[in-house]
Amino acid sequence: MSRRFFGTDGVRGRVGEDPITPGMVMRLGYAAGRVLAAQEHDALHGERPAVLIGKDTRVSGYMLEAALQAGFTAAGVDVRLTGPMTTPGVAYLTRALRLQAGVVISASHNPYEDNGIKFFSATGTKLPDAVELAIEAAMEQPIRTVGPKQIGRSKRVDDAAGRYIEFCKSTFPTDLDLRGMRIVVDCANGAGYHIAPHVFHELGADVIAIGAEPDGLNINRECGATHPETLARAVRKHRADVGVALDGDGDRLIMVDGNGQIADGDRLIYTIARHRKESGELKGGVVGTQMTNLGTELALRRLGCEFARAKVGDRYVLELMQEKGWQLGGETSGHILCLDKHTTGDAIISALQVLAALRSTRRTLADYAQDCPAFPQILLNVRVDKGFKLNGQAPITEAVAAAEAELADSGRVVLRPSGTEPLIRVMVEGRDEAQVQRLAQRIADTVRAVAGQ
């Protein structure tokens, strides 16, 4: 069965357009409630299943939260509300509160005009494909509200932020602290605005918070992990030791060293892996993606770390990590998974793992990550009509083949559709920057011409 609504990271789109309308989101909540209720009926001994709903700071979150509540309660499912909460925070609280599922209302790093719905299972992991397909099938059925006695109820979770803050702190070594460190924390005006600064402050750091004044419209706007140049300026201005940037829903991390240089997900994963390898704590190897820089792969192999590439998307990284029994993996964009600490990618917890490496070795981020060079890598986004297919487009196939032949064994070409936006992502990597730029532009122009843009 093909997917109609779910992408690689839940259901996402522009607010007011299908599927991100109140009516469709209510149907989604109802369908998910029916599927979950059917799965949990026997185990719950007659009790209603319950789900957790968290959201980021987009103004549309109020509307979609109400629609989801209506759908779930109509299906006979109780609802627990956290208010603004990061995606990994919802995953943790779903598991800690022993609920049947967690739901996040967020479009992650996208602008405020977009929003989305993503689900976590009772164990704090992404829903299996089979469950997502079952929910899609249930959305085709009419809404039939359960009897008056069976209608679900909603209530707020007391101190959801405080519980999650304590969990994050528990992942930092008890024999270390952050006293004496000045850290700039950019919360992207998103879900972590009232969480991340407290975590680092309570561990002893002198914290300067930016991007911590959400107004419903400014999430990810020239701040956060998608605009690390803002963090870099702040680190230099405040002469901080390090900077930490989250994205709007708190699952993506980018950092800045004391010199104002940006460290992407590749360099942060290398830093964590290096420290764990040197301290004998690295179990297995490291999983990256098709987009992981070749320089990172080679640097990890020099450390004696095994390395494997998954498809782009944190769910695919997770699947490969679970298949291999490894604990560390992630993406260049800053989705980092430390499965010994959490079930999903978490920007705050990942930052704490980097800081633990720096504190225990008494080294700086710039120094510790210097052995992880980045090969020139160009990523171009080509906007296409929704539904555009790459497969079977001969001119595009020929352009990619020509670029690969020219690069030979000294580079890579990756062409893939975005899982969240109507874009084709063109990535070319190699040792010569001018060559990489020229080949990437040639392929992007070909895609643009074929797509009629």
Residues 6+ apart with CB under 8 A from 358: 242, 271, 364, 365, 368
* DSSP at 15: T
β-bridge mates for residue 125, sequence order: none
In the numeric block, which tokens belong to residue 206? 């002198």
The type of residue at 424 is I
Q: Does the active-site annotation cover 108?
A: yes
What's the rounded Cα separation, in Å, for the pair 177 and 173?
8
CB contact burial 13-51 (16+ within 10 A = b; e otherwise)? bebeeebbbbebbbbbbbbbbbbbbebbeeeeeeebbbb
What's the rounded Cα separation, in Å, for the pair 403 and 121?
42
What's the rounded Cα separation, in Å, for the pair 275 and 273?
5
Question: Which DSSP string corresponds to 11-59?
Answer: EEEETTSTTSSHHHHHHHHHHHHHHHHHHHTTTTTTPPPEEEEEE-S-T
SS3 for 13?
strand
Residues 6+ apart with CB under 8 A from 136: 1, 3, 4, 5, 6, 31
- CA 339 to each of CA 103, 160, 225, 308, 351: distance values in angstroms, whole numbers, following the listed order: 20, 22, 22, 16, 14
H or E, element range at 416: strand 411-417
Query: Out of 108, 121, 333, 350, which one is annotated catalytic?
Result: 108
In the numeric block, which tokens belong to residue 403? 């670029």
What's the rounded Cα separation, in Å, for the pair 292 and 231?
23
Return the half-sphere exposure (C-beta side, CA atoms, 13 A cut-off) of residue 41.
9
H or E, element range at 64: helix 60-74
What's the rounded Cα separation, in Å, for the pair 389 and 391?
6
Residues with catalytic roles = 108
